[in-house]
Chains A and B, each alone.
Chain A
Amino acid sequence: MPEVIWVYAEVVEGKITATTLEMLAKAAEVGKAEAVLLGPAPDDAPETLARYGASKVYRSADPVYRDYLTLPAAATVAGLIEKHKPAVMLFASSYAGRDLAANLSARFDCGAITDVGDFQLKDGSVEATIPALGASYLNTATLVSEGTKLLLVRPKSFEPKINEQPLAVEEVEAPADQALRAIRVKERVAVKREGPQLEGAKVIVSGGRGLRGEENFAMLKELADLLGGAVGATRAAVDAGWVPYAMQIGQTGKTVKPEVYIACGISGAVQHLSGMKTSKTIISINKDPEAPIFQYSDFGVVGDVFKVVPQLIEEIKKRKGR
Chain B
Amino acid sequence: MNIAVCGKVIPASTVTIEIDPTTKRMVRKGVAHELDPAAASALEEGLRLAEKHGGAVVLYTMGIQDATIGIRSALAMGAASAVHILDDAVAGSDTLATAKLLAAAIKKQPFDLVLCATESSDSYSGIVPGQIAYFLGIPALTFAREIAVDGSKLVIKRQSESGYDVVESTLPALVTTTSGINEPRYPQLKGIMAAKKKEIKVYTAADLGFSADQVGEKGAREKVLSIGRPPKRQAGKIVTDEGEGGKQIADFLAEIKVL
Contact = CB atoms under 8 A, between A and B. Distances in A.
Given A203-B258, A270-B124, A239 B178 contact: yes
A141 B10 CA distance: 22
B246 A310 contact: yes
Given A13-B161, A191-B164, A238-B180, A301 B230 contact: no
A156 to B, nearest CB: 15
Contacts of B220: 111, 144
Given A105-B95, A191-B164, A308 B240 contact: no
Contacts of B179: 235-236, 239
Interface stretch (A54-62, A92-100, A165-173): A92-100
B194 interface: no
B48 interface: no
B30 interface: no
Interface stretch (A23-31, A36-44, A82-90, A112-120): A112-120
Contact of A102 (B13, B124, B134, B167): B134
A110 interface: yes
B241 A251 contact: no
Given A184-B168, A281-B256, A95 B246 contact: no
Contacts of B158: 95
Contacts of B161: 12-13, 94-95, 245-246
Nearest to A317: B250
Interface string A138-180: 1111111100000010000000000000000000000000000
A132 interface: yes
Interface stretch (A1-9, A45-53, A292-300): A292-300
B93 to A, nearest CB: 11
Contact of A101 (B119, B127, B223, B239): B127
Interface in A122-140: 127, 132-133, 136-140
Interface string B37-64: 0000000000000000000000000000
Contacts of B68: none
Interface in A266-314: 267, 269-271, 281-283, 285, 289-290, 294-304, 307-314
Contacts of A115: 124-125
Secondary structure dominating the interface of A? mixed
B160 A95 contact: yes
Given A142-B223, A184-B168, A185-B166, A315 B246 contact: yes
Nearest to A70: B140
A69 B230 contact: no
A241 B145 contact: yes
A310 B246 CA distance: 7
B141 to A, nearest CB: 6
21 contacts: A70-B140, A95-B160, A95-B161, A99-B130, A99-B142, A105-B95, A115-B125, A132-B230, A136-B230, A137-B231, A142-B222, A142-B223, A143-B221, A186-B166, A191-B164, A246-B162, A251-B124, A295-B235, A311-B247, A313-B246, A319-B254
Interface of A: 12-13, 69-71, 93-95, 98-99, 101-103, 105-107, 109-115, 127, 132-133, 136-145, 152, 182-191, 203, 227, 235-242, 244-246, 251-252, 259-260, 262, 267, 269-271, 281-283, 285, 289-290, 294-304, 307-316, 319-320
Given A301-B249, A309-B246, 4 more contacts: A103-B140, A186-B155, A189-B163, A267-B13
